[in-house]
Structure 1
Amino acid sequence: MVVHSFSSHSYPPSAAVPLEARRRLFADEDLGMGNFLDRVAAVHPAGDRPFLWTVARGGSPEQARPLSVEQLVRTRDTYAGWYHAAGVTKGDPVAVYLDDGVGYFLHFLALSSLGAVPALVNGRMPAPVAADYVARIGAVGVVATTGHLAALRDAGLDAGGLLWCADAAEIPAEPASGTALPGVFPYPHADPDPVMLCHTSGTTGPPKAAMFGHRQFFLGKRERLLTFPQAEEGNRLLTALPQSHSAGISYLMTATLLGLPTMVMTDNDGASVRAAMDRFEPTVVAAFPQTYVELAALDLSGPGSAQVHTWINTGDSAHEAHIRALVRYGRRPDGNGGHRPGSRFIDGLGSSEMGMALFRKVSEPESGDYGRCVGTPIDIVEEVAVLDDAGRPLGPGEPGRLGVRTPTVTPGYWNDSRRTIQSSYSGYWLTGDVVYRTEDGRIYHLDRSPDVIHTADGPVYSLPIEEVVLTDPVVDDCAVIAVPDPVAGDQAPFAVVRLRAGTPAPGSLLDTLNAALAEAGLVPLRGVTVAAGPDEFPTGPTGKVLKRRMREMYVSALAGSGVS
């Protein structure tokens, strides 16, 4: 592996894609997810200069691997030649199951260049779940790390239904003698052609394979060519997103189109990200909420956060307590050529199916607009509705199901047309979120539909309760779930909390939390337990709390088991 002794000031400024070239790309109506690499390579005057630095699993950011546009093209072509020789052709789904990191991006580029459909499987997905997912999508082949390949076989993956299984480490990095590419290469994508499958989080059931199209997935992102922080302005992006997720691929595409100096993390825990920040000194950090939960609990003072002006969150919206902890750091432009202390946090509510974060809220140290407000829809959204269970529109302040009309929505679920049809209503894609809307159009996120707590007195929403619980100084993270109420015969709210490191569990925690909830006008918790470790606070492959599993774990909580 090529390594590069890296410092935050050693990147070549000429790696940036010049403004005139970006304008040409912006005007290219055929530009999309299936061809962006070749389009930027054609206009980039310094495609040989590195702009990506990738940190391996357990690796040191000081020894990051550099990649340029030209190296991306060479690696893409080498991998594509191997896949072509293995019989992969247009429309074939191929599962990629790695240890996160830039490898997902490289295999995505190679497979999509053949017109095949890369199915990116998060490396943290348990092997039995992954094996079932690979079978359901009808993959023709699997590329995986040595460990993941063995785990898939142990989990009962039917290799007889596949053309091949390959160890990712054995795919050559350099083209072998006689390796050929298809007669038409790269594949010329039409607008509706699928370019990728990414699975949902699996928090509410088996993960689903959301499709992404050449044009559909690029919609709403073209503007980044002219508006995203530019390399020539001294900006540096650190991405700790799961690189198997559509958001991870999207931001690496953006970095490629801009030539934006970017450090790509494989490990996205808080300690690893802080170490990389100290070396890279980013101005922009992109991650999922769980990374921010862990970063918020750390001391980030020092060079790593000094230059940060923007934190970008996508997927689930972040908690106020974690946002407030992070925006204390860094510096922001003051509009007069200088800076003022503190950074901004861009929170984007989205999902795999939405194609991108469709709601945007910006928080700064002075902000007070919280309470699970996820902001307003971005320009690409055509219409937003809050619907009751029968599909009738609801007015301001009335909780209901969130529906969106936008061209960025997934074309559907691979091999599951019935679920695709059931996921929309009268042209609205139903996101699975429960929200309400204010008179001025702001959206407040109350819950995920499966997580609503159905009490004897009516529905109770978990997310506003979690916001209050997290204001307690001893609480690091929490999840409020529904558990059976042995008295009323319905459900009751119950909290599972993680305490800050080194903090003993207070004996009066339930009383303290309920006093805060009463002050906020929310219903009290019936119980609370302190998670002793990760097994008692389970999270999914992308870091989302698995409330479905928690409900199973704490089903007897109010019957006297596990309440503190």
Structure 2
Amino acid sequence: MADEPLLTDGVGAGNFFRTAAAAAAGGAAEASVIELDRAYHHPDGRVLREFTLSELDELTDRVAAGYHRDGIGPKDPVALFLGESVRYLIHYIALTKIGAIPVFLNSALPPEIAAKFIANVGAVAVVCDGRLVEEALDVARYDADPYATGPFRAFTHADNDPVLIAHTSGTTGVPKAVQFNHAGFFFGIRQQINADLGRRILSALPQSHASAISVLMSCVARGSRVLLATEREPEQLAKAVEGFRPELVAAFPKVFVDLCRLDLESYDFGSVSRWMSTGDANHERHIRRLVRLGHHLDRSGKPTAGSLFIDNFGSSEFGFAMFRQVHSAATNRYGRCIGRPFDWIDARVFDDTDQPAAHGTVGRLALKSPTVTAGYWNNSLLSEKNRVQGYWLTGDLAYRDEDGRFYHVDRTSDSISTERGTIYSCQLEELILRQIPEVFDCSLVTTGGTAEGTAGEPRHLVLTVDLPSADADLGALRTRINAALSRAGFPVVDRLVRKTADEHVGVTGKALKRTMRDAYQQV
């Protein structure tokens, strides 16, 4: 439970960690400990496997002093292009201490895309541990963390001062630069400060993503012990859960999908009460496997077999999740239901004329919230194109039922026009996964011309399938899939293509349907 000093006026994302360290040192709040699965090599020669808040505060003071010594100051963007590690957090804290702006890049980005992103944001320096060629950027470079003992002036953030430039998942090309400000980035954490998420948290979120910082602030505010799990292969993650024994595991959807590839009963997940996903909505197939594990307390406080799966639907443009749907082994609300928005979010569905869509009608999902990004850095035109009547378009297609629950059916870029009308790829994928047990995961895309065909190029529906069995008969499988689609009134699949788990996947684990469309074009 957080104490008052962490919620006083003026506390926000830019000064949260130094406020938490001061509160813990003064006994005004419980102190978190941040454990690492990869050791941090301290500039003074020590090899650290964990940080207390005071140790983290002392280290980031020295890194901030190093930046100040080198002329980095308020509002200077500094890009971070590093291997997955606690260094993203260290530089985030250090840079915000002097009012500079951390710019996060995912370590899996190709160097040429990273260089373009860094140039687009106008970074004055880059911390890159050798990941960029020397000629890629004409800016100051840090291959090791700056470190000094000289004084610096701690920056005082106003509510609208930028504290982070994050990146989108890049599913449509070069990632967009998302600006988060001091008050807005902390707003959701402030609202949910008393939520019970446990005292031992394993975060398998990418350390280069805004969500990792958001979840960590939330954990520190509650005095939790946190393991930053940067090794996210299924076996490594399962063993980390066994060793650390977390009550909550936080990750992006693909991490949970991959975890379900294991024989889960052969591992000890008994400590887990909750799984928390943020990003895209998760599939029923995978959620049901996870909620059979672990235990939780029911509303009366009675221990109950099975865990909870907190499905937080969000996007990179929000500093906190937008919708929350909680599943257990006893619940049965699926069918792409993402639940209701958080209390502070006003959610709407707009039609193509920018008017509110009727309940039950698919349209463009848009939200108004204090947590929404201030816009895309250095791209005000694109920012304005994402605003409708004061709401921010999320890039998703959804509908709302009469009870105020929302259902996600697709990304706006992935819906498919056919002779029988528009179909939504995520909706059909959910149906296939529910009815065809041999298919572990799948993605539906279209190739060719328009629905009616243009220039001799008819449109084809292509389904990529992830199949655990190497002996699967694709012809027979397509027949069964098409029978299920036909019964539901949908067009049938023209081609079935087998793909591996990591083909056509973006840096944050999202399926890249644009690259699938290119790869599976009919010859």
* TM-score category of the 2 structures, normalised to the smaller one: over 0.9
Q: 1:73 to 1:90 in 2, by over 3 A?
A: same
Alignment of 1:55 onto 2:70: no
How many pairs does the alignment contain?
511
Instruction: State the partner residue of 2:98.
Output: 114
Q: Provide the rounded CA distance (Å) in 2 between the counterparts of 1:66 and 1:99.
A: 18
Deviations 1:303-353 (A, max 9, x none): 641111111011111111111111110101034443111111111111111
Instruction: State the partner residue of 2:142.
Output: 166
Alignment of 1:514 onto 2:465: no
Q: Provide the rounded CA distance (Å) in 2 between the counterparts of 1:413 and 1:452.
A: 25
Deviations 1:210-233 (A, max 9, x none): 000000111121133322435xxx
- SS for the counterpart of 1:420 is helix
Shift in Å at residue 64 of structure 1? 7.9
Q: Provide the rounded CA distance (Å) in 2 between the counterparts of 1:487 and 1:421.
A: 31
Contact 2:63 2:91 in 1 (8 A): yes
Instruction: State the partner residue of 2:402.
Output: 439
Instruction: State the partner residue of 1:126.
Output: 110
- SS for the counterpart of 2:235 is helix
Q: Provide the rounded CA distance (Å) in 1 between the counterparts of 2:206 and 2:501.
A: 23
Contact 1:499 1:505 in 2 (8 A): no
Q: Which amino acid aligns with 1:43?
A: A
Contact 2:417 2:451 in 1 (8 A): no
Q: Provide the rounded CA distance (Å) in 2 between the counterparts of 1:487 and 1:344.
A: 42
Instruction: State the partner residue of 2:505.
Output: 539
Alignment of 1:206 onto 2:187: no
Q: Provide the rounded CA distance (Å) in 2 between the counterparts of 1:85 and 1:304.
A: 49
Deviations 1:379-437 (A, max 9, x none): 110x2211111101110111111111112110111111111111101101111101111
Alignment of 1:29 onto 2:13: no
Q: Provide the rounded CA distance (Å) in 2 between the counterparts of 1:491 and 1:377.
A: 36
Shift in Å at residue 91 of structure 1? 0.5
The percentage of counterpart residues that share the same residue type is 38
Q: Provide the rounded CA distance (Å) in 1 between the counterparts of 2:57 and 2:486.
A: 59
Q: How does 1:396-475 map to 2 (within 5 A)?
A: 396-471=359-434, 472-475=436-439
- SS for the counterpart of 1:314 is strand
Contact 2:24 2:31 in 1 (8 A): no
Shift in Å at residue 367 of structure 1? 1.8
Q: 1:73 to 1:467 in 2, by over 3 A?
A: same
Instruction: State the partner residue of 1:326.
Output: 290
Shift in Å at residue 50 of structure 1? 6.2
Unpaired stretches in structure 2, ≥5 consecutive residues = 41-46
- SS for the counterpart of 2:317 is helix
Shift in Å at residue 26 of structure 1? 5.3
Alignment of 1:221 onto 2:189: yes
Alignment of 1:188 onto 2:156: yes
Instruction: State the partner residue of 1:316.
Output: 280
Contact 1:48 1:68 in 2 (8 A): no
Contact 2:310 2:327 in 1 (8 A): yes
Structure 1: 4+ residue segments shifted above 6 A: 46-50
Q: Which amino acid aligns with 2:239?
A: A
Q: 1:57 to 1:515 in 2, by over 3 A?
A: farther
Q: Provide the rounded CA distance (Å) in 2 between the counterparts of 1:315 and 1:335.
A: 27
Q: Which amino acid aligns with 1:181?
A: P
Instruction: State the partner residue of 2:514.
Output: 548
Instruction: State the partner residue of 1:144.
Output: 128
TM-score by length of structure 2 reads 0.93
Shift in Å at residue 158 of structure 1? 2.6
Q: Provide the rounded CA distance (Å) in 2 between the counterparts of 1:365 and 1:252.
A: 28
Q: Provide the rounded CA distance (Å) in 2 between the counterparts of 1:344 and 1:499.
A: 27
Q: Provide the rounded CA distance (Å) in 1 between the counterparts of 2:204 and 2:6.
A: 27
Instruction: State the partner residue of 2:200.
Output: 236
Q: Provide the rounded CA distance (Å) in 2 between the counterparts of 1:269 and 1:310.
A: 20
Deviations 1:51-91 (A, max 9, x none): 11111299xxxx98111001110111111111112211101
- SS for the counterpart of 2:20 is helix
Instruction: State the partner residue of 1:4.
Output: none
Contact 1:49 1:69 in 2 (8 A): yes
Instruction: State the partner residue of 2:253.
Output: 289
Instruction: State the partner residue of 1:495.
Output: 463
Q: 1:26 to 1:253 in 2, by over 3 A?
A: closer
Shift in Å at residue 487 of structure 1? 8.3
Q: Which amino acid aligns with 1:545?
A: A
Q: Provide the rounded CA distance (Å) in 2 between the counterparts of 1:384 and 1:324.
A: 28
TM-score by length of structure 1 reads 0.86
Q: Provide the rounded CA distance (Å) in 2 between the counterparts of 1:28 and 1:491.
A: 58
Shift in Å at residue 296 of structure 1? 1.2
Equivalent residue for 1:83, pick from 67, 76, 80: 67
Instruction: State the partner residue of 1:9.
Output: none
Q: Superposition RMSD on alpha carbons, in Å? A: 2.2
Q: Provide the rounded CA distance (Å) in 2 between the counterparts of 1:450 and 1:378.
A: 26
- SS for the counterpart of 1:396 is coil
Deviations 1:204-263 (A, max 9, x none): 122110000000111121133322435xxxx31001001111101111112222221111
Contact 1:80 1:181 in 2 (8 A): no
Q: Provide the rounded CA distance (Å) in 2 between the counterparts of 1:375 and 1:330.
A: 24
Instruction: State the partner residue of 1:257.
Output: 221
Contact 1:496 1:530 in 2 (8 A): yes
Contact 1:330 1:343 in 2 (8 A): yes
Q: 1:64 to 1:310 in 2, by over 3 A?
A: farther
- SS for the counterpart of 1:72 is helix
Q: Provide the rounded CA distance (Å) in 2 between the counterparts of 1:269 and 1:29.
A: 41
Equivalent residue for 1:65, pick from 49, 54, 75: 49
- SS for the counterpart of 1:401 is strand
- SS for the counterpart of 1:398 is coil
Q: 1:76 to 1:503 in 2, by over 3 A?
A: farther
Q: Which amino acid aligns with 2:227?
A: M
Q: 1:253 to 1:375 in 2, by over 3 A?
A: same
Q: 1:247 to 1:49 in 2, by over 3 A?
A: closer
